[in-house]
Amino acid sequence: MEIIPAIDIRGGRCVRLDQGDYNRETVFSDDPIEVARRWQAAGAKRIHVVDLDGARDGKPRNEEVVRKVIANVDIPVQVGGGQRNLSVIGRYVEAGADRVALGTVAVKDPTVLLQALGVFGEKIFVGVDARDGMVATEGWRETSEVRALELLERLSEYGVRRIFYTDIASDGMQKGPNFPAIQEVVEHAAGFRFPMAVIASGGVSSAEHIQRLKLIGVEGAIIGKALYTGTLDIHEALAAAK
C-alpha cells in the first residue's frame, strides 16, 4: 500500500483546508518545491499535488509552481485541480506528471474524460469527492445529484482503472477516515466487470488508520494535514503501510 503525501497549493503556497472550506485555510509553507523534496527525502514514493485555486476556478492557477514541483523531484507526481480539457491535461503530462486527476469534468462533461482516456490511458484517474454520499464538484463548493456509488459504475464502464475517494466531512479533521464508506467504495469498485483500484483520502492521522485501510484493500492513502502538523510521522506512516 502506498503512502502519498499531499501538497495543496493556493496562491503559490502549500496550504491545507478543513473540509475543503476555502475560508478555513492553514498555510504550512511558502515553498511547495521544498516540501516536495522533503517528502521525497523522507521516503515517499509518490506525491499528490493539487492546484486548489484551479479546482475552484476550473482552470490552472498555479501551473508554474506545479511544473516546478514535478521537475524538482525524482518520484512520480500526480496532479489535480482545474484540469478540464485535453490541452491542460497534455501540458501536465508533457511536464512529467505521472497521473492527472479529473474531478468535476468527469461528472459534468464525461466527453472530456472519455477523450482523455483515449489519448492518455492510465495516466488519467478520477477523484470522487463525496458529501453525505453525493458527489461534490467545483472544488467541493457544489454538491451534485449524483450518488458516489452510481458514479463509480459509470467510470468503470468509461474505462477508468483508478480513482481516489475523499469523504469531505473527514478531510483535514484528523479524526479518522470514513471507513464504512471507503469499504463500500472498494467493494463496489472491485466487483465491476472492469474493476478499479481505490486510493483513500481524508482523515488519515494514525498508523492504526493506515493499517485498517490496508485491510480494506485500498491501493494507497493520500495524507495531508496530519503529516504537516506532526500528528502522524511520515516514517511511521510508511512503516504501517508495509
Active-site annotation, residues:
8, 129
Cα distances from 60 to residues 57, 82, 85, 126, in angstroms, run 8, 5, 11, 17
Task: Specify the residue for cell string 497534455.
Answer: 90
The residue count for the chain: 242
- Of 18, 6, 55, which is closest to residue 168 (Cα–Cα)? 18
Closest CA to 152 of 160, 144, 142, 141: 160
The residue with cell 465491476 is: 192
Best CA proximity match to 223, nearest among 215, 239, 212, 209: 209
- Label residue 159 exposed, middle or buried (CB < 10 Å: 0-12, 13-18, 19+): middle
